A and B are shown apart, each in its own frame.
Chain A
Amino acid sequence: MEKESKAKEGIKGWINPAKYGKFGIERFAWILMRITGLGLLAYFIGHIIETGNILSGEGAWNEMLAMTQTTEGHVFLALVIGMCVFHTGNGIRLMLGQMGYGIGKPARPDYPYKPQSLNMKGKACIYATIGVAALAMWYGIAVMFG
Chain B
Amino acid sequence: MKNIRRGVFETNSSSTHSVTISGFDLMLDVSLVPDINGNIIIQGKEFGWKWEKFNDAYSKASYCFLNFKERREELKEIIKKQTGANNVIFDEHDGYIDHVGEHCSIEKIEDFHFFIFDKNSWLFLGNDNEYAPNEFYDLPGTKYNYLLTTEGLPFVLKWKFKDLPTDEDAEEAISSLVQNIRFNQTKNCWERDWIFSNSREVYYIYSKYYLPAKNNKIVFLKDNLYHEAYKLKTKVSELILKKENQIEISYTIQKRKC
Do A and B interact with each other, yes or no? no
